[in-house]
């Protein structure tokens, strides 16, 4: 009798544990998606100084969250710079040169990149979020397959620099004078 009661309880316990761990793994994958895993390619510069970028982000499936792509673009301009592999663009230095700055200013950047955060002021989708046929790839990272999806965006680097200068994250050119 007792065994009959224990088995369903054990099953419920096992099921619950699996669900909890499953959620935890899904959350980790989601976190992995937004943990700044991207590639940036410079496509040009507009007359007002906005940089046209193609940002390749990684997603679990064919649909990419456009906000992830926007965050990746702004994050790349701030911390990694824009590397140019051909003559269509000039390689741009990162706005923040100190690689530890993101950790040191965690509170600021967590708020900056939060949903609806300040990052949205400096980036725009140039093709309305449309993804070109040649901008989808499937890549393998470890044992997992991800969709590598490219999106065209423009980033206003000048305004972004001013924002970071005002926040004290980077020094102005005239600092000390």
Partner 1 sequence: MKKYLVLLLTLMLTGAMYSQAKKPTLMVLPSDNWCITNGYYLEFDNQGIKEVVPDYRKAFQQSSELLLAISKINGLMADKGFPLKNAESVIKNINSTSALDNLRSSKDGGSAIAESPVDQLLNQAKADIILQLTWNVNSMGPKKSLTFNLQGLDSYSNKQIATAAGTGTPTFSSEIPVLLEEAVLSFMDPFTNSLQAHFDDLFKNGREVSLRIKKWDDWEFDLESYFGADEEELGILIEDWLADNTVSGRFSTTDATESMLIFEQVRIPLYYDRNGRQVAMDTRRFARNLSSYLRKTFNINNKLTTRGLGEATLILGSK
Q: Which residues bind partner 1 (CB under 8 A)?
A: 45, 47, 49, 86-93, 157-158, 171-177
- For partner 1, the closer of residues 67 and 165 by Cβ is 165
- For partner 1, the closer of residues 22 and 49 by Cβ is 49
- For partner 1, the closer of residues 62 and 97 by Cβ is 97
CB 106, min distance to partner 1, A = 25
- For partner 1, the closer of residues 84 and 120 by Cβ is 84
Hey, what are 61's tokens?
């499936």
Please report the DSSP string for the chain in residue order: -HHHHHHHHHHHHHHHHHHHHHHHHHHHHHHHHHTT-EEEEEEEE-TTSPEEEEEEEEESSS---HHHHHHHHHHIIIII-B--SSTTS--B--S---TTHHHHTHHHHHHHTSTT-GGGGGEEESSTT---GGGEEEEEETTEEEEEEEEEEEE-HHHHHHHHHHTTSS--TTTT-
CB 50, min distance to partner 1, A = 9
- For partner 1, the closer of residues 32 and 45 by Cβ is 45
CB 44, min distance to partner 1, A = 8
CB 73, min distance to partner 1, A = 16
């Amino acid at each position: 009798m007792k065994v009959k009661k224990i088995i369903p309880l054990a099953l419920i316990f096992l099921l619950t544990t699996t669900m909890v761990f499953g959620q935890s793994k899904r959350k980790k994958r989601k976190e992995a998606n937004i943990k700044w895993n991207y590639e940036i390619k410079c496509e040009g510069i507009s007359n007002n100084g906005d940089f046209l970028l193609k940002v390749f982000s990684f997603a679990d499936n064919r649909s990419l969250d456009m906000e992830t792509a926007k965050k990746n673009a702004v994050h790349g301009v701030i911390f990694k710079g824009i590397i140019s592999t051909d003559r269509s663009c000039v390689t741009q230095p990162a706005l923040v040169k100190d690689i530890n700055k993101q950790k040191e200013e965690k509170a600021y950047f967590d708020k900056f990149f939060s949903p609806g955060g300040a990052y949205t002021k400096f980036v725009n989708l140039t093709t309305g979020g449309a993804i070109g046929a040649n901008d989808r790839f499937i890549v393998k990272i470890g044992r997992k397959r991800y969709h590598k999806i490219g999106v065209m965006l423009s980033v206003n680097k000048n305004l972004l620099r001013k924002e970071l200068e005002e926040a004290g994250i980077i020094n102005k050119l005239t600092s000390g004078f």
